[in-house]
Amino acid sequence: MIKTLIYIIISAFILTLFVFTLNYGWNKQEKAECYQWQEDAQSFPDWYATDWQEQQCEQHGINL
């Protein structure tokens, strides 16, 4: 009984750590995309952002 409880607690901890790590990486990737799009917008005069790109970057406080 106690071993099962310990396994459940350890599994929950590992799963939580995995989700937080995945979320952290996802946010870093989104920010990197936004900075690249921001650079593209300055470099290419005909470049435009789609609605989802603008929403993604607004969420991270980056203006395109």
Burial environment of residue 15 by CB neighbours within 10 A (0 to 12, 13 to 18, 19 or more): exposed
Let me know if residue 15 belongs to a domain. no
For each successive 10 residues of the chain (64 residues), what is the average pLDDT?
A: 93 97 97 96 92 96 91
Give residue 58's domain range: 25-64
Query: How far apart are the C-alpha atoms of 52 and 8, rounded to whole Å?
Result: 39
Let me know if residue 4 belongs to a domain. no
Q: What is the pLDDT of residue 64?
A: 85
Tally of domains within the chain: 1
Let me know if residue 31 belongs to a domain. yes
Let me know if residue 2 belongs to a domain. no
Q: How far is CA 62 from CA 25, 43, 48, 52, 56, in A?
A: 17, 17, 15, 13, 9
